[in-house]
Amino acid sequence: MSELKNDRFLRALLKQPVDVTPVWMMRQAGRYLPEYRATRAKAGDFMSLCMNPELACEVTLQPLERYPLDAAILFSDILTIPDAMGLGLYFETGEGPRFRKEIKTKADIEQLPIPNPDKDLGYVMDAVRTIRRELNGRVPLIGFSGSPWTLATYMLEGGSSKDFRKSKAMLYDAPETLHLLLDKLAQSVTAYLNSQILAGAQAVQIFDTWGGSLSDVAYKEFSLNYMQRILQGLIRQHEGRTVPVILFTKNGGQWLEAMVEAGPEALGLDWTCDLGAARARVGERVALQGNMDPTVLYASPAAIRQEVARILARYGSGSGHVFNLGHGITPEVNPEHAGVFINAVHELSAAYHA
């Protein structure tokens, strides 16, 4: 494997000195880029794009051709694991993800297999290997998975949900049944992320998109508990380097201390959390990633720079900050505004690392 030419993302996650604050964007390979839309049209549909390692590599690298980003993130979807469990993932235009098979009962859950990532999700590992080869050490590659709770909500609801009524009904009526599903998912995610690491992912992020929908006690029992299990089972050293893990619970700002105890190298923050207060709470124990409101990118270049400056000032001097949006970049953003954001992070952060 080629030597990394730019490792400031990995260094910042380990709180080592950097020259400027590294930056990448969640969903940086996505619909806001015309070149992405062209490749997706060539693939035919979203899942065909995910399952074609050459095209997945192409879209992963597209934002790096435009912007001086400090990391690439594997192009895939969090719902590949439920799909590999036999649920039949498909996407309705304008509707989001759907499953052909529903999970309703304990018997349904008992029948679910734990996928073999190298066989059942081999297309993801082929994409990781292809991207690593094509990156040729330019920047690190991030692998990822959804959290068990987040994956469970999609499986139980049959797709996206606003109120999670089926998942939460099971949580309160039949907690042991939900624990059975979450246990299978935690085993699946651990194996999946480890396979990504062995294939070449140099850091991994766990997306707990819906953890913030839970009560305090339910979050700790049904979400964080399973992410901690995954962290305990992950490969943390590979290719002579630490493989940092980023834990990201959207709307999870009230649980930062508990998340630190789970053992990640970094916590992702959404934009509802004050970065300075978060740094004071976690101290030197973890790095922080985030946390600009993605909709700031709809504002003027001057306003974007002003918000970048404010967030950098809130974090303050020293390493341990990876700049990111508080959630994924949205499809209607002008690609030039994304460029203003990325350049502003590098330009304005140098003073904090002098």
Report whether 172 belongs to an annotated binding site. Answer: no
For residue 154, indicate whether it is catalytic: yes
Whether the bond into 334 is cis, omega within 30 of 0: no
Contact (CB, 8 A) for 56 and 49: yes
Report whether 77 belongs to an annotated binding site. Answer: yes
Which one is catalytic: 32, 36, 154, 192? 154
Q: What would the pLDDT profile of 217-234 be if each residue is shown by its tens digit? A: 999 999 999 999 999 999
| Residue 37 domain flag | yes
Report whether 327 belongs to an annotated binding site. Answer: yes
- At 201, is the pLDDT very low, low, confident or very high (cuts 50, 70, 90)? very high
Q: What would the pLDDT profile of 272-303 be if each residue is shown by its tens digit? A: 999 999 999 999 999 999 999 999 999 999 99
| Residue 2 domain flag | no
Average pLDDT over residues 161-166: 95
- At 133, is the pLDDT very low, low, confident or very high (cuts 50, 70, 90)? very high
For residue 285, indicate whether it is catalytic: no
Q: What would the pLDDT profile of 321-341 be if each residue is shown by its tens digit? A: 999 999 999 999 999 999 999
Reply yes or no on whether the pLDDT at 8 is more than 70.
yes
pTM assigned to the model: 0.97
Full DSSP string of 12-65: HHTT---SS--B--TT-SSTTSHHHHHHHHHHSSHHHHHT-HHHHHHHHHHHHH
Average pLDDT over residues 102-114: 96
| Residue 140 domain flag | yes
For residue 172, indicate whether it is catalytic: no
Which one is catalytic: 27, 132, 279, 305? 27
| Residue 26 domain flag | yes
For residue 77, indicate whether it is catalytic: yes
The CATH number for 104's domain is: 3.20.20.210
Report whether 177 belongs to an annotated binding site. Answer: no
For residue 138, indicate whether it is catalytic: no
Range of the domain at 150: 8-353
| Residue 3 domain flag | no
Report whether 298 belongs to an annotated binding site. Answer: no
Residue linked to tokens 């950098």: 312
| Residue 160 domain flag | yes
| Residue 266 domain flag | yes
Q: What is the number of structural domains in the chain?
A: 1
Which one is catalytic: 40, 98, 129, 236? 40
| Residue 17 domain flag | yes
- At 1, is the pLDDT very low, low, confident or very high (cuts 50, 70, 90)? low
